[in-house]
Structure 1
Amino acid sequence: MNAVGATSAVDDFAQSQNGLSGAVCCFHCGLPVPESGNWNAKIKGLMRPMCCPGCQAVAQSIVDSGFGDYYQTRIGYSATADQQTLIPPELALYDSEENSEQFGGQKEFGEATFSIEGIRCAACVWLIERRMARLPGMRSADMNVATGRLSACWNRAVCKPSDILRTLREIGYVAYPFDAARYGEQLELARKKLFRRMFIAGLSMMQVMMYALPIYMASDGTMDADMTNLMRWAGLLLTLPAIGYAAQPFFIGAWINLKSHMLGMDVPVALGISAAFIGSVLATFKGQGDVYFDSITMFIFLLLCSRYLELGARRKAASALDNLQHALPASALRMAGYPAFRETELVAAGKLVSGDVILVKPGEANAADGVILEGDTAFDLSMLTGESRAQRMTIGANVPGGAVNVTQPVVLRVTQSTGESTLSVLMSLIERAGQGKPKIALWADRAAAWFVAVLLLFSVSVFIVWHFLDPSRAWPIAIAVLVVSCPCALSLATPTVLAAATNRLLRQGILVVQPHVLETLNQATHIIFDKTGTLTVGKPVLSHIEALAAIPSKQCLRVAASLAASSKHPLSEALVTAAAEDDSISGMDLFCGDIRHIAGQGLDGLMDGKRYRIGSLAFVQELAGSDFAPPNVPGFVSIYLGTENVLLARFDLADSLRADASWIVRYFQDKGKTVILLSGDHQSVTQHVADELGITTALGQNLPDQKLNYVQNLQRDGGIVAMVGDGINDAAVLSAADVSFAMGSGTALAQIHADCVLLSGQLTSLAVLNDTASKTLTVIRQNLFWATLYNLIAIPAAALGLLNPWMSGVGMSLSSVVVVLNALRLQRLPRHINYPTPTTSPKGR
């Protein structure tokens, strides 16, 4: 079938009906075309009849969007234009059930991250967020100018993904659901296109300057009028490629802004270029007056250079996520018959489920979280934790998905599917990162939005004033005012810095999830630490069992381990591990039912018809009814086991301090911050840890609601609280703190409610983060100060006639370059802090 004249079966039927009835049907919807109608759309090289302007607009939109093949493959007519409302069929595919998973599955609210092409400044962000807010069913929409991503949440009953994509297209932005590979391709395509424009502008600039220079150097009478006119015409012709091609993004952006009733930074740029070009063209035709072809080409070239640098910063901001995206392999070697058979089959990583056994060869990445069944090797966890040294692992070790096997092949049993693996959860957290904006960024956005409107009014006023003072200078001075202003420096001052800082921190094993972390940590007055799993290693070991009744201690351990097996608390895991390592108890678990977890107190369950409790003494005594007086055992955590009217045993467990705990406490104390230890453990144990670390305020035996009340009381007294916990049992207090940090671990990532995750599991990461926060805020203030100072000096200078258009163009472009280059300095922060021994003060670093 001929490609140009190709039609679908439904079109062939329509043509046959036309021949029988004499009526002409609309090629889009199939309705009769009125005799008086004269609407057509060019599809595959042929003019097709349309029944109304609506169908004409829809058909033309489908073809212009590159979806002309739709008319060859359709099996029925489209709905009328009123029903289609300009939605290309490819966009409607995003509403199908097959694609619903990437937008939140079957939940009431859908949520996703979209990549937006064509983002230029804070005005674009303002326009997109404002338009999204007006979309029915939209709950939230946050645009990140640095990464070009829109994070949206919507009511699935009212709003569809296609509505979001269509609305963005209506205001001039191409959008698609975020995909790291496609996003990287789009950035590379944008870089190449921008480089071509920059090359053409630079070539035009050099050639125009070659013809403009003799005019500048000529003194009166040394160059006749004909030669001057020839130079001007040559400048005009050489400027056309810069105006028609290189400057196209500015004109398109300005048109989109004006069409959307929004004054973005492209508006003054486009007006300045247009005014200078029109004035120069008129002067060239008249043969008298000033021309600014050299200023125009230089301005376009320098501004494109600054945007090229900005795009490079955005690419670096996205690089960490791109690396993680490729860290999980697409396939795995599954051993379906293990252990009887050792044959492997290649399966898609997405098909792995809990319980599958896989073989991981040296040099391969683990496709899902798992436990080593066979082998002894080292894994590279740098993608997950920022730790560059490979970690030795053997049988029984938990290996997160994305870890790279370095030495020997190992056999693993999958514990979490690929979609629920540590790396997948980490990637979802990263995609959430940067959705909002800190206060300082919101201020910059508002300032940039108002800046353009004030600038345009000021330019008109300057033109009117100079028209009365010196009409010959009014036009060039007004152009200089438009060109010299730099709203883009204001809009880039904050997001570029934050993108550089968060990207660098992620490479160091620190994931900043919420936008206010760097700003708030720098202002924090109180640093509150949880104990277990935060200041301590979090893996206590059973040291001693004290039988308190006639039942032997091993039998008590058997009962306690059976009851604790349902809990992931470190103390419970210590009892289960101790029972598993005792050959006389291992494999003899009792059946435990009706288990209840009481937060901060313990566990309650039935075994052999009897109710048992394990946990704090007060909790167990409610059931056991004993008046037992607990001994004071410094440095140990004691938990108790009891049944009805009988207190059975005391288990003493010890947990070692982290090697860097003492150092980080002194670090924050030297910074003038109040350090507090807030724990649910017994007061004596909490105080013992505090004494070892030099913490003056230690509060033990605090339940989750008591921790929450304590933090809220500090906040009511004017304190700014930073909370550091393990992210498992402290969800409420982590959410309530002004800024919160969770120690990263493979099993806890999915339960994290913190604003920042210390993936490295090192407390020294807090020092890295605090130092980075201080440097980041310094750079942001420098950028805002520079952008404000530049505009306060340059705009009045241009208005007074002290700057001509080419000098203004240089100043405006260099202002943006300075802001971007200053932000990229954060990429050079040291990767690690080498902390001293715990006995040394951090001042000696």
Structure 2
Amino acid sequence: MDMLAQVHDCYHCGLPLPAAGAWKVQIGGVARAMCCPGCEAAAQAIVDMGLEDYYRTRSAFASTVDRQTLLPPELLLYDLPDAQQQFDLDAESAEATLTVEGIRCAACVWLIERRLARVPGVLAVNLNVATERLYVRWSKSSCKPSTVLQAVRDIGYAAYPYDAERHEAQLRRAGKTLFRQLFVAGLSMMQVMMYAVPAYIADDGTLDADMAGLMRWASLLLTIPAVCYSALPFFRGAYGYLRQRTLGMDVPVALGIAAAFGASVLAVWRGSGEVYFDSVTMFIFLLLCSRYLELVARRKAAGAVEKLQHALPASAARMPAYPGNHQVDVVAAAQLREGDYILVKPGEAIPADGEIVAGESSLDMSLLTGESAAMRKGQGDQVPGGAINIAQVIVLRVSKLAADSTLASLLKLIERAGNGKPRIALWADSVASWFVAALLLFAIAVFAFWQWHDPARAWPIAIAVLVVSCPCALSLATPTALAAATDRLVRQGVLLVQPHVLEVLHRTTHIVFDKTGTLTVGKPALQKVLTFDEMESAACLQFAAALEANSAHPLAQAIVAAADLTLLPEVIADEVVTQAGQGLEGLVDGIPYRLGNAAYVAELTGSSIQDQVPAGMTPVYLGCSGTWLARFDLADAIRSDAQQVVQHFQKLGKQVILLSGDQQAVAQYVADRLGIRVAHGGCLPEQKLAYVQQLQQQGAMVAMVGDGINDAAVLRAADVSFAMGSGAELAQTHADTVLLSPRLSAIADTAELAARTMRVIRQNLGWATAYNLIAIPAAAIGWINPWMSGVGMSLSSALVVLNALRLRRVSRLRFKPEPARLARPLRV
């Protein structure tokens, strides 16, 4: 055990123990004395994390534990080597996603980001106001995790590594606290108004002076709870800004409340002058209503992401002796290893990616793909973690650790999504910060003018100017709309990875599509059966499927899938022999049949065949001794909604282009079927990149849609890009947007929502600007009194938030897939 600690010193920090009341922690089976609750908490946390070796291997006490001058001991835990591993990004840098408590409005984001940007070693910082998550990247050589956490604490906020359950509990606490403050402010406002109304009515001097004085004192007592408790968020926010020598949204609000309340108290004490207790309580109540509405909006905007965070269950029913024994042990999902067998009952979420080895069921994958229809899965099918089993019991063999599952990869992308802001949001934040400074100077000037012109009106008019302004609406205009749109897209299976997508997408001039896996589904399907003999096409298809029944070749699987739709009795083939690159031969009812290319089948039929194969098709022939029976034309199936998407963008005046690595004939065939006028085949990845860059040099703004892996370079180069995401591809994509849904029409939905989002942002910014340009001069002239100012500011913020929330109600599946012409497995 550690030889540093002495009997009379704190075992954790080495400071002398107090004379009485020493705290103790069990370390290595021995009760170790601590000097204070802070050291006790830190030591107990080290033990609970399984890091007792820290005490055996340390060579010196942590001098930074001095609680008078340095960091809280619990923050030092994050500097321990084992704890820092969770933050490592590469050899030189680390990153973390943190939850921040105490965010009051969008301006808090600006303050926190500015403070952390000043910390030596911090390389990047971004705080998402909708989800209250802070992304920080720092240099490991010049910064520590505890330094980042302490910097946030220094300006009045609490930060800790993101944990879904803790974050949700924090949101609930914040909501309850804000509701209590709102309730107290509302109660004070109603009671104060009871005493204010008689004074307004009896303005002709009929109210007795003693009674008027009593009602003033009563109003003062009833206003104190609202100012001292309900208004605390505004005072704390203003204090935090002023400590950092910055001007935020809460500064004019706090000044307005303090000035109105202070002037009213002074008037009551003197027994003469105007009182504004009714205006103060109403102002606090209305502002808290607006802030509570904003909190609800943020929680709604982050709703889809929070559901994903909770999608994976914490435990799993592992079957350690399967298949010999079906006994089940309940273990933590994090303990699952590749090859483990797990039992999933109806109604349970699948804890990790795996393959179904027993059973058949329907799965709800709406959280992962946005598709509400259940998907039927059976033995041999791969299923992602996070899907919900809704029908029968199934047994899975785990194929990926929970940390590497499809959902985990998706959540990593979600953490990236929000680590940046579009230019329009940065502009709004910058304008809002300058707006506050200009407002304070203007309020001083207004006060000075009225003090010269009409001293009796100087104070209430200056208060009205401070109160009526609405920088919050200006700063909320963009992030609230973006958060609402992002939430809607996630629920539709579209994940925005980069912040500029919605801002840029509606301004694109060219939409460039890859073919395989994008416009097509990425696997062949039977398009047509052409018969050469009297045998019916459906029967030929059954014979071909019998020969291909045990083949894993993609063409074979397409023929078998098509045969399943014929509803004819199953045909059995025996003694099937495969010739690599040629085809296969087998016996059906004792008669030899061959299925494959023309040359291979001709060896059995004894004659060659002369026919014209349609462009873009792969032919597979069926024949028996002396007879050619049929030709099966297969091609990569075009997605059922591809033509709708192409036509949608063409109607918007955008040029649609097809770039493919396939032969020109195949690319042109798909382009002709979809109505795409420009198609280039035989393009290598570097040629696709050069083509897109050439378009950009000519002034085009390009959106690229690809499969996410082979098109990595061109996806990154495009102005905005989409990747068809699935499974392992999620972690490898370089696109700005990932389509979790199999619907290609999700791109058109995203484009439509992008246009609506920018309209809403422009409406919000326009309203906030127009409101301030009208309301502030009106207050300066004296047309608006303080309580009317509070109403105006609150309604302005509420209007911006409610307008943004309309984006969550955009109609879903506007572009519904038609019955596909090419995706249908057969035409016989």
Q: TM-score, normalising length from structure 1?
A: 0.80
Q: Quick check: 1:574 aligned with 2:554?
A: yes
Please, which of 662, 665, 674 is the counterpart of residue 684 of structure 1? 665
Cα deviation per residue 1:356-399 (whole Å; 9 max; x = unaligned)?
23222222222211222222221111111111111111222111
- Cα 1:29/1:397, change in 2 over 3 Å: closer
- 2:191 and 2:577 map into 1 onto residues whose CA distance is 85
Structure 1 distance, partners of 2:12, 2:208, is 64
Matched, 1:30 2:26: no
Per the alignment, residue 131 of structure 1 pairs with 115
Q: CA deviation at 1:133?
A: 1.7
Counterpart in 2 of 1:643?
A: none
What residue identity is the alignment partner of 1:151? Y
> Matches of residues 99-138 of structure 1 in structure 2 within 5 Å?
99-104=83-88, 107-138=91-122
| Equivalent in the alignment of 1:536 | 520
Paired residue for 2:775, among 779, 794, 803?
794
Moved more, 115-124 or 581-590: 581-590
Q: Which moved more, 1:320-329 or 1:710-719?
A: 320-329
Alpha-carbon separation, structure 1, partners of 2:142 and 2:557: 51
1:678-707 CA distances to partner (integer Å, 9 max, x unpaired)?
111100000000000000000111100110
Instruction: List per-residue Cα deviations over 1:97-126 (Å, max 9, x = no partner).
Output: 332343137743211211111222343222
Whole-Å Cα distance in 1 between the matches of residues 424 and 338 of structure 2? 45
Counterpart residue type for residue 517 of structure 1: V
Partner residue in 2 for 1:156: 140
Is 2:338–2:401's contact at 8 Å kept on the other side of the alignment? yes
Q: Which residue of 2 aligns with 1:223?
A: 207
Work out whether 1:759 is the aligned partner of 2:740. Answer: yes
Distance of 2:721 and 2:12 partners within structure 1: 60
| Structure 1, unaligned runs of 5 or more | 1-8, 16-25, 33-40, 47-58, 545-560, 566-571, 591-630, 640-650, 841-845
Q: Structure 1 residues 105 and 529 mapped into 2: Cα distance closer, same or farther (>3 Å)?
A: closer
* Cα deviation, residue 318, structure 1: 2.3
Question: What is the distance in 2 between the residues matched to 1:757 and 1:680?
Answer: 21
The DSSP-based 3-state class of the residue aligned with 2:302 is helix
Give how far 1:401 is off: 1.1
Q: Pick from 275, 283, 298: which aligns with 1:299? A: 283
Matched residue pairs, number? Answer: 725
Secondary structure of the residue aligned to 1:435 is coil
- Secondary structure, counterpart of 1:253 in structure 2: helix
Cα drift, residue 347 of structure 1: 2.7
Amino acid corresponding to residue 835 of structure 1 in structure 2:
K
- 1:632-643 correspondence to structure 2 within 5 Å: 634-636=615-617
Q: Is the 8 A contact 1:663 1:838 kept in 2?
A: no
Kindly indicate whether the alpha-carbon contact (under 8 Å) linking 1:61 and 1:88 is maintained by their aligned counterparts in 2: no
Measure, in 1, the Cα distance between the counterparts of 2:787 and 2:556. Answer: 76
Q: Against the structure 1 CA distance between its residues 728 and 839, is the aligned structure 2 distance closer, same or farther, given a 3 Å change threshold?
A: closer
Shift of 1:333: 2.7
RMSD: 3.5
Aligned to 1:550: none
Q: Secondary structure at the match of 2:96?
A: strand
User: In structure 1, the residue corresponding to 2:637 is in which secondary structure?
Assistant: coil
Equivalent of 1:285 in 269, 276, 291: 269
Q: Which residue of 2 aligns with 1:260?
A: 244
Could you give the per-residue CA deviations for residues 249-283 of structure 1, whole angstroms, max 9, x where no partner exists? 11111111001011001110111111111111111
Q: Corresponding residue for 1:427?
A: 411
Residues 528, 677 of structure 1: 8 Å contact kept: yes
Whole-Å separation in 1 of the counterparts to 2:761 and 2:193 = 36
| Aligned-pair CA distance for 1:719 | 0.8
Residues 1:835 and 2:825 are matched in the alignment: no
Equivalent pair of 1:580/1:587 in contact (CA under 8 Å): no
For 1:838 and 1:27, the matched residues in 2 are separated by: 70
Residues 28 and 470 of structure 1: is their aligned pair in 2 closer, same or farther, counting only changes over 3 Å? farther
Shift of the 542–353 alpha-carbon distance from structure 1 to 2, 3 Å rule, reads farther
- CA separation in 2, counterparts of 1:261 and 1:518? 34
Alpha carbons of structure 1 residues 295 and 584: separation in structure 2 relative to 1, 3 Å:
farther
Return the offset for 1:31: 7.5
- Distance between the aligned counterparts of 2:44 and 2:338, measured in 1? 43
Determine the structure 1 residue equivalent to 2:188: 204
Residue number in structure 1 paired with 2:801: 820
- Distance of aligned partners of 1:410 and 1:584 in 2 relative to their CA distance in 1, 3 Å threshold: farther
Amino acid at match of 1:691: D
Shift of residue 762, structure 1, vs aligned partner? 0.2
Give 3-state SS (helix, strand or coil) of 2:331's partner.
strand
Question: Judging changes above 3 Å, is the alpha-carbon distance between structure 1 residues 183 and 42 closer, same or farther for their aligned structure 2 residues?
Answer: farther
For residues 474 and 68 of structure 1, the distance between their equivalents in structure 2, rounded to whole angstroms, comes to 59
1:724 aligns with 2:708: no
Paired-residue identity, %: 59
Match of 2:316 among 332, 336, 346: 332
CA distance in structure 2 between the partners assigned to 1:761 and 1:439 by the alignment = 31
Whether 1:142 aligns to 2:126 is yes
CA distance in 2, matches of 1:434, 1:832: 25
Residue 761 of structure 2 is matched in structure 1 by 780
List 4+ stretches of structure 1 deviating above 6 A: 9-12, 41-46, 65-77, 80-84, 575-590
Q: How far off is 1:159 after superposition? A: 1.6
Gaps of 5+ in 2: 24-34, 529-547, 562-572, 582-611, 621-631, 822-828
**What is the CA-CA distance between 1:79 and the residue it aligns to?**
1.9
Aligned to 1:748, the other structure's residue is in SS state helix
Show the counterpart of 1:444.
428
Assess if the C-alpha contact under 8 Å between 2:659 and 2:679 holds in 1: yes
Question: TM-score, normalising length from structure 2?
Answer: 0.81
Matched with 1:804 is 785
CA contact (8 A) 1:242 1:300 kept: yes
* Structure-1 separation of matches of 2:247 and 2:165: 33
Change (3 A) 1:278 1:730: same
TM-aligned CA deviation for residue 633 of structure 1: 5.3
Per the alignment, residue 13 of structure 1 pairs with 8
Q: Does 1:511 find its partner at 2:495?
A: yes
Match of 1:177 among 157, 161, 185: 161
Shift of 1:519: 1.3
Q: Return the alpha-carbon distance in structure 1 between the equivalents of residues 14 and 578 of structure 2.
A: 71
SS in structure 1 opposite 2:8? Answer: helix
SS of the equivalent of 2:95 reads strand
Distance 2:499 2:290 in 1: 25
Q: In the alignment, what sits opposite 1:613?
A: none
Contact in 2 for aligned 1:30/1:77 (Cα 8 Å)? no
Structure 1 CA distance, aligned partners of 2:338 and 2:134? Answer: 33
State the distance in 2 between where 1:80 and 1:179 align: 26
349, 362, 378: which is aligned to 2:362? 378
Q: Which moved more, 1:209-218 or 1:324-333?
A: 324-333
| Change over 3 Å in CA distance of 1:773–1:256 after alignment to 2 | same
Kindly state the Cα deviation for residue 349 of structure 1 after the two structures are TM-superposed: 1.7
Q: Distance in 1 between matches of 2:613 and 2:704?
A: 29
- 1:71, 1:423 → 2: CA distance? 30
- 2:330 corresponds to 1:346: yes
